[in-house]
Structure 1
């Protein structure tokens, strides 16, 4: 237990002034399949079957086998899971905020699942459309999330997009999106970095050379993103939390995963594992529901007020050790209890 407790910790550098997580009035999300809670599903529903993408055994339009980290973070914030924006455009009243994230989104206008689906610029545009439709200013007391970039670099079967071999364009596109959100009046913004893409089952399947290149590209992206966010926190008046997902999942074994190189669900071979809670990856690129839960725990912990010195004009620098440990241990206890029952 001591080993797990120590290994579960990692250091997260935050340029965000301490905020009381329970005080957020809503959750608004821009991103890709890691945060999509039903937009692609609603956009691709077959009227004859009522099923959209991704289909079962994926969970209720999520690109995983259970609730996504956005669902779980919303619950921890005492909010409803944010309403997919497609439902809002169709007349639904937003509950808990609005989720604009679309599976397959790149930082460009391209989408790797379907060319008719949204990329980052269209999501930002949809955000502005919802604001204009409701004729209300942006909720400055809400929490906003912007997380994407993986689809810019990973190998894809899309005929409309060629993956980038450097991070320059991706970082510029993300920078433009952050500036746009700030111009709308966004105040509190979470921007996670990327896990090592070469360590995903898809990355590993490409061979050692490509896997290593993807990991190098990931580190380049994360370093550039950190620099951009540090500058924005000083110049745009934003409370920015750059969530270090890369460090969180750098040692999967310490988080209780026994398989972190293979997918639980292999859509090519049509095989499904019997113990998904022990897999880091649900499919070739997407984390399992267990991993999503760990990420939500870490994000929520990072949002809690910290007892650190603050400067009136500078951002607090938070070094959070053992981030998400409590949530990890809680999930491990639950997993052990289930295994005993079985």
Structure 2
């Protein structure tokens, strides 16, 4: 695709929040988010603020002490805005961390149940604990709001590395799916009617696993497929029970971008732009010359460009209210003229 079209697509994705708010807000009254670092807009920093103050800064770039250079954008596990910034903006909202008074409950590093992984730090919330925090703040949920439930990828990393749960038992794909189902059911019982439940990105395609060799890539892909197959079955069952659930094939989208990088204005979809340590966060490493052409910022998180493309794909997947049809027409036409983002069928493990 010509570079001019690629730039146009990126501008459209980033500008969605400016183009749509007045009309799109008619679709949902608010957007609530449960998730991990792909969606965290500041909770991890807010939770650790007392530790930072007491210890003069902790060795996390996203938690760097004032005046300390960081490779990461403030409150984001990337080099700029993340998908939920553009996505919420398209509906007239600003995604604000729940610990800062907002409706985004996502925490970087979250598993589906963090109490079984890190019970020592009670403020470090997994998706089940995020659900509890949401219901404690709002026991009767708004039926006109959209509830995003997106997690499980960190559980898969724990399975891959053999990290056990706090009770000593191994993590499993089945328990991860069950946790997500429990979250959806709990929110629905409290009044939630509209859900967006993306599946997990293929962790076998991220630089961190590529760097560990083909066996890690294959196992990561196998785990992702198993989780996503289970989640698809879960979503189908909840739809049959009457819930309004939108899914999104994150794994298929990622595979499409990796297979056709030039069509999305990218030149590198396999390596990390920021080479620093994203496990111990010691601040070392360097930054690539052109981050906007990279899909991955570090070993596992997308760049701001990757997030913008993800937001664009999700917005195309949402059935828009009638009032927004004309406003979305330009975005949809541009996407169709390039390479329409496709929902690829999953391959069964059986």
Same fold? TM cut 0.5: yes
Give 1:306 deviation, angstroms: 9.0
TM-superposed CA distance for 1:210, in Å, is 1.7
> Structure 1 226/160 Cα, relative in aligned 2: closer, same or farther at 3 Å?
closer
Structure 1 segment 8-27 matched on structure 2, within 5 A: 21-23=24-26, 24-27=28-31
Tell me if structure 2 keeps the 8 A contact 1:166–1:217: no
Which residue does the alignment assign to 1:14? none
Residue aligning to 2:106: 101
Distance 1:218 1:157, change over 3 A: closer
Aligned length: 288
Instruction: Work out whether 1:42 is the aligned partner of 2:46.
Output: yes
Distance across 1 between alignment mates of 2:290 and 2:308: 16
| C-alpha distance in 2 between matches for 1:298 and 1:194 | 15
Query: CA shift at 1:326, angstroms?
Result: 3.5
Deviations 1:226-284 (A, max 9, x none): 1110110120x321111111111213213222111111112235111121111111110
Q: If each structure's helix is expressed as a fraction of its own residues, which one has the higher value?
A: 2
Which residue of the partner structure matches residue 280 of structure 2? none
Q: Which residue of 2 aligns with 1:63?
A: 77
TM-score by length of 1: 0.75
**In structure 2, what is the equivalent of residue 145 of structure 1?**
148
Aligned to 2:128: 121
1:31 aligns with one of 35, 40, 46:
35
Partner Cα distance (2:61, 2:190) in 1:
31
User: Does 1:238 pair with 2:243?
Assistant: yes
Task: Tell which has more relative contact order, 1 or 2 (C-alpha 8 A, sep 6+).
Answer: 1
Structure 1 alignment gaps of length 5 or more: 9-19, 89-93, 308-322, 331-342
Give the structure 2 partner of residue 320 of structure 1.
none
Given the alignment, which residue of 272, 291, 298 partners 1:283? 298
TM-score by length of 2: 0.74
Q: How does 1:184-263 map to 2 (within 5 A)?
A: 184-235=190-241, 237-252=242-257, 253=261, 254-263=263-272
Measured at CA, do residues 50 and 217 of structure 1 come closer, stay the same or move farther in structure 2, by a change above 3 Å? closer
Q: 1:77 aligns with which of 82, 87, 91?
A: 91
CA contact (8 A) 2:265 2:293 kept: yes
- For the aligned residues, what is the CA RMSD? 3.1
SS of 1:44's partner is helix
Cα separation, 2, equivalents of 1:291 and 1:163? 35
Deviation at 1:181, TM superposition (A): 1.0
Q: CA deviation at 1:298?
A: 1.4
